[in-house]
Chain A
């Protein structure tokens, strides 16, 4: 069972799904933090909203690439 799951995640399609899910996870986390800031009354001005929106996209991209870079480094090409 474990090897089946590992095998699926190691295939090119599995890696693609994993990449998308990693990006989605960081995107959701970034926007979640943005919402928490709005909830306590920060960052409601339109220019700030735009800036934080762009920041979340950049954050998600950087974190996803970093995650995959580090994971490929530890797994050693696996």
Chain B
């Protein structure tokens, strides 16, 4: 027997207001990653075999550093949400599930931040 009203059950679900927020963010970040990934792969092709000096010059030109940081943020956020999906699908007991999700988020935040700092160190230092 369900005691919640139909409105109460449905409120927040649909059209990504609340209930589907995570689903919506995965789609939007995925959409943004299509052009960003094409740019990233194209850049990687052009930089194949380059040394650190060449790479740094490339990173400093035009909007490359900005695009790289945008790519890092979008990609790490999308990845992290993807792993959350897997955890939610395969770990059924609540406590290990919650622990796994939090560890996952912490790790992605750590590696994402390390990547951003690497870009900043190369572009801002001297």
A residues contacting B by CB (< 8 A) are: 2-3, 6, 22, 25, 29, 32-33, 35-36, 39, 67, 70-72, 74-76, 78
A78 contacts which chain B residues (CB < 8 A)?
A: 48-49
Contact call B45/A32, Cβ cutoff below 8 A: no
Contact call B31/A74, Cβ cutoff below 8 A: no
Q: How far is the CA of A78 from the CA of B54 in the complex (A)?
A: 15
Q: How far is the CA of A22 from the CA of B37 in the complex (A)?
A: 11
Which one of B30, B33, B48 contacts A75 once the chains associate, using CB atoms below 8 Å? B48
Contact call B41/A25, Cβ cutoff below 8 A: yes
Interface residues of B in 6-49 (CB under 8 A from A): 27, 30-31, 33-34, 37, 41, 44-46, 48-49
Q: How far is the CA of A76 from the CA of B46 in the complex (A)?
A: 11
A40 vs chain B, min Cβ distance (A): 10
Beyond A36-B27, A36-B31, A39-B27, whether A25 also contacts B48 by CB under 8 A is no
